[in-house]
Amino acid sequence: MNYETVIGLEIHAELATKTKIFCGCTTSFGGGENTQCCPVCLGHPGTLPVLNKKVVEYAVKAGLATNCSINGFSKLDRKNYFYPDLPKAYQISQFDRPVCEEGYLEIKGGFGSKRIGITRIHIEEDAGKLLHETEDGSTLVDYNRGGVPLIEIVSEPDMRSAEEARLYAEKIKTILEYTGVSDCRMQEGSLRFDVNLSVRPKGSEKLGTRTEIKNLNSFRALVNAIENESERQIKVLESGGEVVQETRKWDDITSKNTSLRSKEEAHDYRYFPEPDLVPVVLDKEYIERIRKDLPELPDIRSKRYVEKWGLPEYDAGVITASQSMAVFFEDCVNAYDGDPKTVSNWVMGELMRLLNEKGAGAEHISFPAVYLADLLKLVDDGTVSGSAAKKVFAEMFETGEQPKILVERLGLSQISDEEALTRIISQVMEKNPQSVEDYRRGIKKAMGFLVGQTMKETKGKANPALVNKILKKLL
Amino acid sequence: MITKEDVEYVAGLARLELTEEEKEEFAKTLGDILEYVQRLEDVDTGSVQTTAHILPLINVYREDEVEPSVDRERILANAPDTLNGCFRVPRVI
């Protein structure tokens, strides 16, 4: 039987605020254990949380950038459960009145274009971090992360494959970066995915029993976990069994997912309105002010590249996936008079290749965009050959030096001086009378040999077009 | 009406261990409390606006400005058990 996988994602993103959601403790990453805590984020009795203004602003921004409607009236609620990463024994979150509801995003792939619904975006506090590697098996708790502001973006079950889920998650990341809502540093856990997944016979309208896989923190883990869980559920159904509704845990190292807890043990969170915090009321004027401040979003930017600069849709999509890359690309196109597609070829070719090798993003490019434009101009005016330009580029990528200086230092400037080249070619012809004669007798490939010899003589610096022209004249 | 099973369920969520007598007692007292609160249902609230909060306040915010945290020694001084600058608790998965 053919099966269809149905996927919904819950994405947690740490917001780019300087301080925690309810107190002035810093949110900076990597501080010593429990050095970024205070009585408020530790939930000491008698303390009162006060909502960080910026958190509301970021949540509204994220909502507007994902086509959500913003709730004029929103409130915070307590979600009650016992776990040592939660010092108050409840998490302040939002239950029935989240900041944003009913949005969507478009994703594009081999399947064409598809709209993924966003159910809601709410604000909440992050939990502390549990460390398990003690000798006696006890658990250590670091509350630095406790109280760091999060948004949780809940999607509709609109995705049908790991690829669609990845594209959607990547799109969310791009948008959060563009809007500055989150730095999305995945290796620091700033962006985490929970997957809700079920399978059903293809064509069936009824949803199967779903499982939840929690806390995936890379796109690779997301894809692997979805493929793995989808296969597992199909196997269960094929062997006549039933999928049990439960929470499962993905292990990156073994690439396996295992049961964490079944629904019977599932929590009854007993949500109720947080009495320590007053409601959040957002008027139209506030919302419109934030809408006006939104940057140009990736889809619109991509469309502009296609329409204004004639870039292929694919190129535009790849470049706009990262805001830093898009800014770099645009600066370069503006500094360069030639075809934007030439810039795109270099950005998507050499630049992305070298960045990938380093595992770095566009924000780590060591030279200004105008240097790439300078280099392309040097190619256009014949100062350097295309292959020499690649060498210059690699060096520029490492050192951040100007291309003109590098061309000189690496001795890569092309010989485009007609007189000088004529002299060298004449010498080459003198040394190779046989080839000259072959060519004149009609053996055209002798020409290639003479070009090769000229290039060897000039250590590859001769302008190939000019060499061809002069050779033909002399022969 | 609150049954003994209701009490056991709520006690479980709150990690409370109750004796049989206590379960009986709380079933009755919790039931009394709910019944008392239920009297609100007889009040005509047609003209009262729905609210999630008793105070007539909205949008109480703080600016996103860093304030010093509390020294770790003082933070951990309240903990029953610590190790390597962390709170130490019984093992959890």
Instruction: Provide, as residue numbers in chain A, all residues whose Cβ is less than 8 Å from the Cβ of B54.
Output: 275
Indicate whether A276 pLDDT > 70.
Answer: yes
The whole-number pLDDT of residue B59 equals: 94
The CA distance from B88 to the nearest CA of chain A, in Å, is 5
Reported as a single tens digit per residue, the pLDDT across A42-68 is 999 999 999 999 999 999 999 999 999
Confidence bin at A449 (pLDDT 50/70/90): confident
Indicate whether A423 pLDDT > 90.
Answer: no
Indicate whether A304 pLDDT > 90.
Answer: yes
The CA distance from B44 to the nearest CA of chain A, in Å, is 23
Of B59, B65, B72, the CB nearest to A34: B72
- What CA–CA distance (Å, rounded) separates A384 from A390? 10
For residue B64, is it within any domain? no
Q: Is A178 exposed, middle or buried (0-12, 13-18, 19+ CB in 10 A)?
A: buried
- What CA–CA distance (Å, rounded) separates B47 from A318? 57
For residue B11, is it within any domain? yes
Nearest CA in chain A to B72: A35
Reported as a single tens digit per residue, the pLDDT across A5-32 is 999 999 999 999 999 999 999 999 888 9
The whole-number pLDDT of residue A266 equals: 56
In DSSP notation, chain B reads: ---HHHHHHHHHHTT----HHHHHHHHHHHHHHHHHHHGGGGS--TTSPP-S-SSS----EE-S-------HHHHHHT-S-EETTEEEES---
For residue B84, is it within any domain? no
The whole-number pLDDT of residue A417 equals: 67
Reported as a single tens digit per residue, the pLDDT across A195-212 is 999 999 988 888 889 999
For residue B63, is it within any domain? no
- What CA–CA distance (Å, rounded) separates A22 from A274? 13
CB A269 within 8 A of CB A83: no
Instruction: Provide, as residue numbers in chain A, all residues whose Cβ is less than 8 Å from the Cβ of B69.
Output: 25-26, 35-38
Instruction: Provide, as residue numbers in chain A, all residues whose Cβ is less than 8 Å from the Cβ of B52.
Output: 75, 97, 273, 279
Q: Report CB contact under 8 Å: A140, B72.
A: no
Number of domains in chain B: 1
How many CA atoms lie less than 13 Å away from B66 in the CB half-sphere?
A: 11
Give me the domain span that covers residue B23: 1-45
Look at A347 and A467; give whichever has higher pLDDT.
A347
The whole-number pLDDT of residue A261 equals: 65
CATH number for position B8: 1.10.20.60
The whole-number pLDDT of residue A416 equals: 65
Q: Which of A93-97, A167-171, A390-394 has the lowest mean pLDDT?
A: A390-394
Q: Looking at residues A300-327, what average pLDDT do you find?
A: 91
Indicate whether A264 pLDDT > 70.
Answer: no
CB A298 within 8 A of CB A174: yes
For residue B74, is it within any domain? no
Reported as a single tens digit per residue, the pLDDT across A154-183 is 999 999 999 999 999 999 999 999 999 998
For residue B90, is it within any domain? no
Instruction: Provide, as residue numbers in chain B, all residues whose Cβ is less than 8 Å from the Cβ of A54.
Output: 63-64
For residue B85, is it within any domain? no
Reported as a single tens digit per residue, the pLDDT across A238-263 is 888 888 888 888 777 777 777 776 55
Instruction: Provide, as residue numbers in chain B, all residues whose Cβ is less than 8 Å from the Cβ of A51.
Output: 60-62
Could you tell me the domains of chain A?
A: 3-289 (no CATH), 296-409 (no CATH), 418-474 (1.10.10.410)
Type of residue numbered A335? A
> Which ranges of chain B have pLDDT less than 70?
93
The whole-number pLDDT of residue A438 equals: 83
Indicate whether A290 pLDDT > 90.
Answer: yes
Q: Report CB contact under 8 Å: A84, B92.
A: yes
Type of residue numbered A43? G
Reported as a single tens digit per residue, the pLDDT across A98-121 is 999 999 999 988 888 899 999 999
Mean pLDDT of chain A: 89
pLDDT > 90 fraction of chain A, expressed in percent and rounded: 53
The whole-number pLDDT of residue A470 equals: 78
For residue B79, is it within any domain? no
Look at A414 and A297; give whichever has higher pLDDT.
A297
Look at A82 and A169; give whichever has higher pLDDT.
A169
Confidence bin at A344 (pLDDT 50/70/90): very high
